[in-house]
A and B are shown apart, each in its own frame.
Chain A
Amino acid sequence: MKYLLMLILCLPALASAEDAAVREEVMSAKETVLELNRDLYELERELLSPATTRAAFHITLNHGEYFEPLSVELSVDGKLELQHLYTERQVKALRMGAVQPLGDLNLAPGKHDITVTVRGVDHQGQGRELTITEPVTKTGKPLITELLIVDRDELQSARLQLKYW
């Protein structure tokens, strides 16, 4: 009778220990899945955009008093590679200092011609187009580029500038 009572009293403790073990196993499995996910992400990134060919492009708007972008297109060696259409909210964010990642490209090491065209409106509501073409040499290191739309107060207009980080 005593043994039976002891067994009944021990049962909840046994069950709770079992629960804890299961919880631990679940946690460990979750961690493994997260690690695997991270590894896969890194592998995908490395495969799609390895450091030797990686070229990242970002856009910023300096003040934006004389120009508001509506769209941007970026070509490399005459081939259209990246494009974006702007909404009012996105332009507001750029005005507030946001740095927009336009996209990543794979560029083989060597010389390339980069052409960027930004279409938009000036401070009088007239359609305007800013274009820049610049040769760039891609080395074995990642190429990180910022496309700046800068106001030119003296001319009451804007210009496009490429900056390499």
Chain B
Amino acid sequence: MGYLARYVVLILLGMQIHAHADTQADNSQSLKPGDMVPDFTLPAVNGFGQRLQEARGSYLMVIWLGHCDECSERLVRYQLLAESLEIEGLKGWFVWTPGGDRSPPNMRLPVLKYEPRWRQGWVFKDRPAIMLINADGRLDHLITGDLEDNYQETEEVVMRWMSQGRDYQRPE
């Protein structure tokens, strides 16, 4: 009987762990403004890895890159935007996904690299995308689509977002 109870507890624990992993994977795909962003740690191609939880207390702009092979030029404006607002507490991270013989962009801001082998990370499916995450770790704004086309909108939203502090963009 004792063994039976142990097996039941083990199965339940296993199911719980499995369900948690599934939830995390789903979260990364179905995130919408107002949601808490699941924690991740990703290695960087230009320095230390970054962990989302450690950025709590700052405004964070995470730029998920789509197809990017040395696409530094396309990202310069985003880098300048993040750097110009660094004094106000904004941090900027790029997340690059390797593929084929692609090379990462060469930036001053952290360029994080997503590789499935690192279990502490996840990737946002709908790339390219820009996530504006507030100091509590909540997703305030999500802008998807081509980065060059969306720069103007991003700049306006970031300026408004930073000036207003909390400004949850509610889905219509």
Contact = CB atoms under 8 A, between A and B. Distances in A.
A83 B54 contact: no
B96 to A, nearest CB: 15
Interface in B29-86: 41-43, 47-51, 54
Contacts of B41: 85, 87
Interface in A6-54: 43-44, 47-48
B15 interface: no
A47 B10 CA distance: 7
Interface residues of B, number: 18
A91 B48 contact: yes
A85 B9 contact: no
Contact of B48 (A43, A47, A84, A88): A88
Contact of A87 (B6, B10, B54, B119): B54
Contacts of B42: 85
B13 A85 contact: no
A79 to B, nearest CB: 13
Contacts of A43: 9
B6 A71 contact: no
A70 B6 CA distance: 39
Contacts of A47: 6, 9-10, 13
B49 A87 contact: yes
A87 B9 CA distance: 35
Given A47-B9, A47-B13, A85-B41, A70 B120 contact: no
Contact of A85 (B6, B10, B47, B118): B118
Contacts of A91: 48
A85 B49 contact: yes
Q: Output the residue of B42, B49, B121 with the most chain A CB within 10 A.
A: B49
A70 B49 contact: yes
A71 B118 CA distance: 10
Per DSSP, chain B at the interface is: mixed
Given A44-B9, A47-B9, A70-B43, A87 B120 contact: no
A83 B13 contact: no
A89 interface: yes
Given A70-B48, A87-B51, A48 B43 contact: no
Contacts of B117: 83
B54 A89 contact: yes
Nearest to A121: B47
Of B42, B43, B48, B49, most A-chain CB atoms within 10 Å: B48
Contact of B13 (A44, A70, A87): A44
B81 to A, nearest CB: 23
Given A44-B13, A47-B6, A71-B43, A87 B118 contact: no
11 contacts: A43-B9, A44-B9, A47-B6, A47-B13, A48-B13, A71-B43, A71-B49, A85-B42, A85-B51, A86-B48, A88-B47
Interface of A: 43-44, 47-48, 70-71, 83-89, 91
Given A85-B42, A87-B49, 6 more contacts: A43-B9, A83-B117, A84-B120, A85-B41, A85-B43, A85-B118
The 7 lowest CB-CB distance pairs between A and B, nearest first, are A85-B49, A88-B48, A85-B41, A87-B51, A85-B43, A87-B49, A87-B48
